[in-house]
């Protein structure tokens, strides 16, 4: 029996994500693929490997957000309005 191969666009449609996201999953090693020329194809049965993934972008760790305190923004000098000619 031969495995059914899906294009990145077909995988994206089945997973409800963009084709770019599918390529990111492939590049990260979370979704196995075979490359034919410049195109990747995925075995249909491999979709189960990413079907239970969490949606959205992972949250940043709290430590990295609060590592450095924000620098104060210097106050701008107020101008006196329009310049008067001589």
pLDDT of residue 72: 74
- Residue 46 domain-assigned? yes
Short-list 38, 45, 37, CA closest to 6: 45
d(CA 18, CA 8): 9
- Residue 85 domain-assigned? no
DSSP the chain: -PPPEEEHHHHHHHHTS-HHHHHHHHHTTSS--EEETTEEEEEGGGGGGTTTPPPSPPPPPHHHHSSSPPPPPPPPPPP-SSPPP-
- Residue 44 domain-assigned? yes
12-43 residue pLDDT tens: 999 888 999 999 999 999 999 999 899 999 99
Q: Quote the domain boundaries for residue 41.
A: 5-53
- Residue 41 domain-assigned? yes
Q: How many structural domains is the chain composed of?
A: 1
Domain containing residue 18: CATH number: 1.10.1660.10
């Amino acid at each position: 029996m031969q495995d059914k191969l899906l294009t990145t666009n077909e995988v994206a449609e089945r997973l409800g994500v963009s084709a770019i996201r599918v390529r990111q999953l492939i590049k990260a090693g979370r979704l196995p693929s075979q490359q034919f020329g410049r195109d990747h194809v995925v075995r249909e049965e491999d979709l189960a490997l990413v079907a239970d993934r969490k949606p959205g972008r992972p949250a940043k760790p709290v430590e990295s957000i609060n590592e450095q305190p924000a620098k104060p923004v210097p106050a701008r000098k107020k101008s006196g309005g329009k310049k008067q000619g001589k």
